[in-house]
Structure 1
């Protein structure tokens, strides 16, 4: 294992391609499924889901949570441990864009967990 430092990806596409390149994409799916289930907001992304489809489905799931189950959405962010400061910095005027940005923050945090577990 190389000891390169964790560098946060700039967007979902770069994150998912890095996860695939490092052969950690399946671990990322497992981590997302696990944390959503811990938050009682079960998702079951299949291990065969392509990265672009994962991104779309995660975005849709977050959009629906923000719109219809706000308390569960907040609980999910807490369980996953998404930075409250990062959430507060987002513009909430466009719900679709907000959901997309939150989905990226979730992916980023889950990727961090997977990456660290793999390296250490």
Structure 2
């Protein structure tokens, strides 16, 4: 049964435990490329490095390419209500929170695809 992760560390640990971490990286790369915000996270990237690099990418998008940032959120299908609940006064904190929401949505896609493939 799908259980929403509480934080980034929990999410990445769960993905690793279920042997779906590679699928998560592939899904992130795919959706970023669909949004024309090419990233190419290597499949060998550690969970900690993925978290940091994703947060940095979001930070740069918020700072310099806001329309593209909004498009990315739309492509990934991050719930609008979740974004609206965030406090945007600190961009570093905001980028961390948005990175978690992106990971959470991407993890949802990967988990459900895997679960329903095996049912």
For normalisation by structure 1, the TM-score amounts to: 0.96
How far, CA to CA, are the matches of 1:13 and 1:44 in structure 2?
Answer: 21
After superposition, residues 19-98 of structure 1 pair within 5 angstroms as: 19-98=15-94
| Equivalent pairs, count | 116
Return structure 1 stretches of 4+ with deviation > 6 angstroms: none
Q: How far apart are 1:79 and its partner, in Å? A: 0.2
How far, CA to CA, are the matches of 1:79 and 1:6 in structure 2?
Answer: 22
Q: How far apart are 1:50 and its partner, in Å? A: 0.3
- Secondary structure of the structure 2 residue equivalent to 1:87: helix
Q: How far apart are 1:83 and its partner, in Å? A: 0.3
In structure 2, list runs of 5 or more residues that go unmatched: none
In structure 1, list runs of 5 or more residues that go unmatched: none
- Secondary structure of the structure 2 residue equivalent to 1:7: coil
How far, CA to CA, are the matches of 2:60 and 2:3 in structure 1?
Answer: 30
How far, CA to CA, are the matches of 2:24 and 2:2 in structure 1?
Answer: 15
